[in-house]
């Protein structure tokens, strides 16, 4: 309780997300489709920042905001509404905040983005990174100098990886795992980078490279192994209706870090992350869909499934006395109203 370090350190590209839901079918060229729902809010690296902050973690974010409406809105939401520390962030004159339109359909979504390379790199923003209990990062083909500095000052690195548009899946990227405490790719990414043909086989390879390996499997849940404790866990997904899957993987990662910093057993960490990411897909936009402790408590109080009640019984002892304020979800237009 007397540790003044940030709990979570983050850096990456921020977006203003506009999410459209309720499509009867995917759009095709030459036609106009009206949707029944729309939400907006900060996205990209903000997904991780908000999810972590809503679990009561002291969250420090280094990112770039444009000097436009979108950047001002995202900054206000993150700093004033969500309590994220932005002292490492900068506003860039004349640079447009990237904007993503997410078109949700079924259990997935299509994204259309407008943006430019930010004028400040991650290494420029971070400089000599402050000591933190953990850092949540997206590792990329080009290694970031700040990552090694953070690992050297005792920060535990929790990493995931994005889709490789070249589909080369260079194994050189895995060299960066020597700096990491945990790696949390999805099933497709894990198999591609490890050259394996199943999530279990990919997990086995990753456990040789990083102390804690997690492979998320979408509708099949997640599997994980912790070499520091000798634990293995496999958790099914929850049966939850999907409104918008944007940012669910980020909510999973932030939730796993929150539980890990609490020293929970691996099975509990994995169940908690699966639950939080599952609850997030019931709302618009990735960042503001994160449930936080308030949303977890609401779900637990309303739960009447005896089997789930037993499986998630550990929550009764894990939830803090102060749940924080009710979470504020993305601003929405009224269903079926003209846009």
Q: Hunting for tokens 């050259």 — which residue is that?
A: 195
**Which range, 140-149, 157-166, 196-205, 241-250, is most confident?**
196-205
- The pLDDT-based confidence of 336 (bands split at 50, 70, 90) is very low
78 pLDDT tier (thresholds 50, 70, 90): very high
At residue 65, does pLDDT exceed 60? Answer: yes
Closest CA to 312 of 247, 268, 248, 251: 268
pLDDT at 158 over 50: yes
Domains annotated for the chain, with CATH where assigned, are 8-318 (3.40.1190.20)
pLDDT score for 245: 66
The Cα 105–Cα 63 span in angstroms is 30
Query: How far is Cα 279 from Cα 176, in angstroms, rounded to an integer?
Result: 31
**Residue 3: pLDDT over 80:** no
Q: Which tens digit of pLDDT belongs to each residue from 272-320? A: 999 999 898 777 666 788 899 999 999 999 998 999 999 999 999 999 9
Please give the C-alpha separations between residue 198 and each of 153, 165, 185, 206, in angstroms, as whole numbers: 35, 21, 13, 12
Sheet holding 8-11, edge to edge: 59-62, 8-11, 134-139, 156-161, 182-183, 212-216, 222-226, 231-235
Of 21-25, 97-101, 183-187, 317-321, where does mean pLDDT reach its minimum?
Answer: 21-25
Q: How confident is the model at residue 63, as a pLDDT?
A: 98
Q: What is the pLDDT of residue 40?
A: 86
Q: What pLDDT, on the 0 to 100 scale, is given for residue 38?
A: 83
pLDDT tens for 219-257 read 889 999 999 999 999 999 888 877 666 678 899 999 999
Is pLDDT at 337 greater than 50 in this prediction?
no
Position 335 scores a pLDDT of 46
Is residue 199 a contact partner of residue 192, using CB atoms and an 8 Å limit? no
Q: Pick left, alpha or beta for residue 148 (phi over 0 → left; psi -120 to 50 → alpha; otherwise beta).
A: alpha
Average pLDDT, the chain: 90
Interacting residues of 165 by C-beta distance below 8 A, sequence separation 6+: none
Segment 99-110 shows an average pLDDT of 80
Q: Which residue has the higher pLDDT, 182 or 110?
A: 182
The predicted model scores a pTM of: 0.89
157 pLDDT above the threshold of 90: yes
d(CA 15, CA 50): 13
On the question of pLDDT at 35 being above 80, the answer is yes
pLDDT at site 338:
38
């Amino acid at each position: 309780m007397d540790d003044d370090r940030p709990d979570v350190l983050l850096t990456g590209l921020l977006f203003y997300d506009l999410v459209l839901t309720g499509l009867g079918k995917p759009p095709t060229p030459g036609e106009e489709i009206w949707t029944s729902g729309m939400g907006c809010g900060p996205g990209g690296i903000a997904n991780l920042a908000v999810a972590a902050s809503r679990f009561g973690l002291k969250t420090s974010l280094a990112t770039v905001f444009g000097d436009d409406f979108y950047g001002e809105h995202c900054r206000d939401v993150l700093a004033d509404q969500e309590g994220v520390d932005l002292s490492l962030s900068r506003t860039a004159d004349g640079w447009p905040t990237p904007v993503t339109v997410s078109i949700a359909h079924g259990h997935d979504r299509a994204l259309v983005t407008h943006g430019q390379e930010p004028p400040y790199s991650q290494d420029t923003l971070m400089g000599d990174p402050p000591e933190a209990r953990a850092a949540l990062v997206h590792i990329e083909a080009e290694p970031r100098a700040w990552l090694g500095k953070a690992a050297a000052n005792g920060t535990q690195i929790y990493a995931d990886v994005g889709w490789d548009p070249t589909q080369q899946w260079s194994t050189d990227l895995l060299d960066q795992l020597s700096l990491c405490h945990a790696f949390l790719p999805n099933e497709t990414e894990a198999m591609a980078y490890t050259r394996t043909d199943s999530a279990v086989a990919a997990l086995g390879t990753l456990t040789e490279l990083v102390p804690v390996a997690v492979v998320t499997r979408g509708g099949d849940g997640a599997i994980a192994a912790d070499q520091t404790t000798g634990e293995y866990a496999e958790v099914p997904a929850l049966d939850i209706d999907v409104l918008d899957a944007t940012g669910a993987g980020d909510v999973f990662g932030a939730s796993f870090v929150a539980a890990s910093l609490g020293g929970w057993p691996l099975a509990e960490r994995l169940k908690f992350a699966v639950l939080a990411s599952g609850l997030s897909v019931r709302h618009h936009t990735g960042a503001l869909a994160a449930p936080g402790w308030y949303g977890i408590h609401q779900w637990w109080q309303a739960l009447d499934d005896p089997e789930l009640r037993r499986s998630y019984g550990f929550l009764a002892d894990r939830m803090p006395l102060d749940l924080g304020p009710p979470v504020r979800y993305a601003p929405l237009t009224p269903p079926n109203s003209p846009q």
